[in-house]
Amino acid sequence: MGWNKNKATVLAVLTVVLLLCNSCSVSMGFAPISSIDYNKVKTISIVEFPNRADYVYAPMATQFNQALKDLFTRQTRLRLVDSGGDLEIDGEITGYNQYNESVDASGYASKVKVTMTISVSYINNTNHSEDFENKQFSASQNYELPNLLTDVQDDLITKMVKDLTEQIFNSTVANW
């Protein structure tokens, strides 16, 4: 009788542990974290990045510009101003290209790599040693054929814009 009671207790404890393990999860990732001295830096100005790539997809510039501003306003306490901020970010979209990434047995492309490139200039008016000019940032995504770029580019651009804005954030205010 004592053995059955101990067995039931062990079984109950194991059940609780298993339920806790299944209901808990650990999620790790790299969320942008800023290293801004808010006693000195209070504002940021981000100039609209024009699309100067050879291939122009009109929604790309709008999406990038909005995502960059959103990231800085969400992840920092900086106030966005039109010009003359304590931090100034300026630049342009310099590239939007696609390249054949792999070829299938018939000799035709089977995977295409799409790359978006941004040139950024950054001025920290409280610490000019952090300034940089025309620094290149690039992000790529692949898609499989027979999909057409026009069918997948909105999704690809969303992913590349997220990657690029995080790279710019990390390079400017996260000091990575």
Per residue in 36-54, pLDDT (tens digit) is 889 999 999 999 999 999 9
Read off the pLDDT of residues 106-156 as tens digits, 9 standing for 90 and up.
878 889 999 999 999 999 999 999 999 999 999 999 999 899 999 999 999
Rounded CA separation 64/154 (Å): 12
What is the model's pTM? 0.78
Rounded CA separation 176/71 (Å): 16
The pLDDT of residue 27 is: 39
Nearest to 31 by CA among 65, 68, 75: 75
- What are the φ and ψ backbone dihedral angles of 62, each rounded to 5 degrees? -60, -45
Instruction: For the chain, list the domains and their CATH numbers.
Output: 35-172 (3.30.160.150)
The pLDDT of residue 29 is: 44
pLDDT bucket at 83, cuts 50 / 70 / 90: very high
Helix-strand-coil percent breakdown of the chain, rounded to 5? 40, 30, 30
- Cis-peptide, bond into residue 59, ω within 30° of zero: no
Beta-sheet pairing, 79-81 with 43-46? parallel
Q: Identify the three-state secondary structure at position 136.
A: strand
**Cβ distance 121 to 92 under 8 Å?**
no
Identify the DSSP state of 76.
S
Q: If you count them, how many residues does the chain have?
A: 176
Residue 146: in which H helix or E strand, if any? none
